[in-house]
Structure 1
Amino acid sequence: MTANDALALHRRAVVADAHNDLLCSVATRPSDEWSDYFRTQWLPQLQEGGVDLQVLPVFIDDVYRPEGALRRTMRMIEAAHRLAEGNADAVGLCLDGDDIDRVIGEGRIALVLALEGMPGIADDVELLETVHRLGIRIGAVAHFGRSAFADGSGEDAAGSRLTRTGIRALAEMERVGMIFDISHLGTGGVDHVLEIATRPVMATHSSARALFDHHRNLTDAQIAGVAESGGVVCVNFFAPYLHESAYTIDTLIDHFERVVSVAGIAHVGMGPDFVREVIADTTAPCCVQTTIEGVPADRYLPGLEGPTGLPLVTEALLRRGWPEADILAVLGGNLQRFLRSELAATAGA
């Protein structure tokens, strides 16, 4: 199998990325630049990488918390709507599974909005319905630290589960039709969600803790729990979460194979978490970010620093001997199917 064969397979696939923080980059610009900036800076990267389906998280940096968190949340949601409207020839903001299938079928990139951490919601659980009306379809209730809903993975030593507010939030998300994302949730919280969730959950960007014991990764039992719920685990590409020092694409494929061995091929996708450009774009020169929760912030898989490198994943999977059908499933078929099912089931909720 040659590189050209791999690229042909990649172009034939539906390629879905469950986590790209590009909205952070877009929203730092003046509002009248949002659409053009996306077109010139991000759209070419997504197209070169073959991306057909892109989940866009709304992440609120610490500088905006707590007072400005809701305002920043609204600004980022508005930025997503405007960049979609201004680039309607190339992308479409999707609210349900039918939207996703239609936009992809038209040769455009389907965009799905997510919340990451929800500091703008705090304990006002009723605002989950508000942001759902604005287009949010996936939500994570914590990041690294403590929130009104639960502890993030950086607080694993506390051993905590969801708070009472977190339990209410899960129920409200299930009611309105928002998919619960366990990535970044502390291990006790993940276990709690898997115990009480009544709908499928997902991990938008988490890898295998059995291969590298980092709090951002999931245990085999948690991976199996997501699969048993009917959800998907989307593997994170951020090198310091994959290995102590072997920052190679083979290490990434090891994580894919571990997650598949536990969850089954139908429950695995991609959540690259491409942060190099976003960090550079949103950090002032005086304040260069060198670590993220104690791991290096400047270490990336060669060639996979951004979306343009995604065909390398297809090539690497072929080298490992993966069947084409399995590659197509993991590249995006599984995530498209999952979102089609879950969002269609809750349309108009």
Structure 2
Amino acid sequence: MIRIAAAFFVTSCLATGPVAAQDRADAVAAAALEAAPVWDGHNDVPIQLRARFDNRINDFDFSDTLDTATDVRAAMHSDLVRLRRGKVGAQWWSVYVSASLPEPEAVQATIEQIDVTKRLIEANSDAMALALTADDVEAAMAEGKIASLMGMEGGHSIGNSLAVLRQMYAMGARYMTLTHGRTLDWADSATDAPRHGGLNDFGMDVVREMNRIGMLVDLSHVSEEAMHDALDVAGAAVIFSHSGARAVTGHLRNVPDSVLARLPQNGGIVMVVALPWFITEDLRQHAANKAAEEARLKALYPGLPGTVAAELARWEANNRQPASTISDMADHIDHVRDVAGIDHIGIGGDYDGMPTGPVGMEDVTGYPALFAELARRGYSQADLEKIASRNMMRVMREAEAYAASRSGVAPIEYAVGAPRAAEN
């Protein structure tokens, strides 16, 4: 009898141990993603189409891109099969073009990226649906298709023109990241020298006009001062389409607590990024140390690139690159929740715009593992549904409602070329 009782006790302990707890977390995550599939804030497939295929995609098979690896490029992170495995139900596709382009060329290139994205969606219309409104997203998800939206990454894509901004919206762009890596005539980038202390007057009018027409204001990539300036004038909720929490990883691309604390009043969300150097402080520090060592070696051995390369390889062998993990990404989600609240979190992977995601989330199939980690940390199914897509749906509906309330307001007008002339 004693043996039977002891065996029952051991069995009970096993049933409530780590394996059972992980099984419960997996079940909670699976239920959440079934009810509310991931609405991802940023994916760079369109620039991959440009860089790899010159936008010639008539024969491109998006169902499986694992065969896209070359001698110089890893395989793409995204395809229809893997998006399904990752439980992605809606995707913001970035129509990014390089901020180094002269702005008239950037405008043309952005239009080309809108075109190739629409063609990709149309060519895969059995699995994807162009979405221009929150209702479109809801309808596509109900049909089992991946709702496909377009976001511009960087205000260089409008060439200092609110008229171009409005026409980009007419072509289907539904968010714009105010800057990319370069400070513009009207907005400071987080990773370039500031010129305006945030946004200048024209930059604030860009935000106002985006709100008026219903285009979401994306504050990833902008300086902290520009974030605050945008929040000062925004009438609708903002997004950070792919950013982390700066208090967790100090990269300037991440969102500081001073801004997170303002999100409840604004209603906006931080769509937490998977890019390892943004979410893992040890990795960020390692990259900085490597850059410093390379600069030191070049100063020591000018004109001897072979020696520099050999010595740098020796340094790398003795200073192994730290790993970035799913837990690191979850730490950022925890911090955004702690400062801003559960209603202000989303997911913005940045796949196909980075070398790899964290270990276990190397490509778009990794989202269920992330949500299981969050469930293990105590997030409820309702919490996970908000993070997956319900918060993003709320933000888009609020932006649409605000634009509808401004339907009688005239467009903001400038004389042609005036913003640039005023800046110079």
1:213 and 1:8 mapped to 2: Cα distance? Answer: 32
Alignment of 1:57-72 (within 5 A): 57-62=94-99, 64-72=101-109
Distance 1:22 1:150, change over 3 A: same
1:151 and 1:253 mapped to 2: Cα distance? Answer: 29
Q: Residue 347 of structure 2: which of 261, 264, 270 is its match?
A: 270
Partner residue, 1:291: none
- 1:158 is displaced (CA, Å) by 5.6
Deviation string for 1:231-276 (max 9, x for gaps)?
A: 111111111111222622111111101001111111111011124x
SS of residue matched to 1:40: coil
2:108 and 2:398 mapped to 1: Cα distance? Answer: 32
SS of residue matched to 2:155: coil
Structure 1 position 343 matched with structure 2 position 410: no
Q: Residue 185 of structure 2: which of 148, 170, 190 is its match?
A: 148
1:62 and 1:127 mapped to 2: Cα distance? Answer: 16
Aligned residues: 329
Alignment of 1:327-338 (within 5 A): 327-338=384-395
1:30 and 1:122 mapped to 2: Cα distance? Answer: 23
Partner residue, 1:316: 373
Distance 1:18 1:304, change over 3 A: same
SS of residue matched to 1:257: helix
1:38 and 1:30 mapped to 2: Cα distance? Answer: 15
Q: Residue 5 of structure 1: which of 21, 27, 33 is its match?
A: 27
Partner residue, 1:174: 211
8 Å Cα contact 2:188/2:194 also seen in 1: no
SS of residue matched to 1:36: coil
- 1:37 is displaced (CA, Å) by 3.6
8 Å Cα contact 2:251/2:278 also seen in 1: yes
- 1:109 is displaced (CA, Å) by 0.7
8 Å Cα contact 1:27/1:75 also seen in 2: no
SS of residue matched to 1:203: strand
Distance 1:63 1:38, change over 3 A: farther
1:299 and 1:27 mapped to 2: Cα distance? Answer: 19
- 1:67 is displaced (CA, Å) by 4.9
The one-letter code matched in structure 2 to 1:196 is V
4+ long deviations beyond 6 Å:
none
Distance 1:149 1:108, change over 3 A: same
Structure 1 position 40 matched with structure 2 position 64: yes
- 1:39 is displaced (CA, Å) by 3.5
- 1:346 is displaced (CA, Å) by 3.4
- 1:299 is displaced (CA, Å) by 6.3
Distance 1:121 1:158, change over 3 A: closer
TM-score (norm 1): 0.87
Partner residue, 1:23: 46
Partner residue, 1:251: 328
Larger Rg: 2
- 1:164 is displaced (CA, Å) by 2.6
Distance 1:232 1:156, change over 3 A: farther
2:371 and 2:102 mapped to 1: Cα distance? Answer: 39
1:4 and 1:13 mapped to 2: Cα distance? Answer: 15
Partner residue, 2:412: none
The one-letter code matched in structure 2 to 1:145 is R
Distance 1:187 1:77, change over 3 A: same
Distance 1:163 1:70, change over 3 A: same
Partner residue, 2:18: none
Deviation string for 1:181-211 (max 9, x for gaps)?
A: 1110111111111112122111111111111
Partner residue, 1:295: none
1:195 and 1:251 mapped to 2: Cα distance? Answer: 31
1:79 and 1:89 mapped to 2: Cα distance? Answer: 17
2:44 and 2:238 mapped to 1: Cα distance? Answer: 20
Distance 1:112 1:33, change over 3 A: same
Distance 1:262 1:64, change over 3 A: same
8 Å Cα contact 2:57/2:120 also seen in 1: no
1:156 and 1:209 mapped to 2: Cα distance? Answer: 19
Deviation string for 1:138-190 (max 9, x for gaps)?
A: 11121122112201101366672212321221121112111111110111111
2:375 and 2:220 mapped to 1: Cα distance? Answer: 28
Q: Residue 139 of structure 1: which of 176, 180, 190 is its match?
A: 176
1:181 and 1:105 mapped to 2: Cα distance? Answer: 27
Distance 1:82 1:243, change over 3 A: same
1:304 and 1:344 mapped to 2: Cα distance? Answer: 35
- 1:313 is displaced (CA, Å) by 0.6
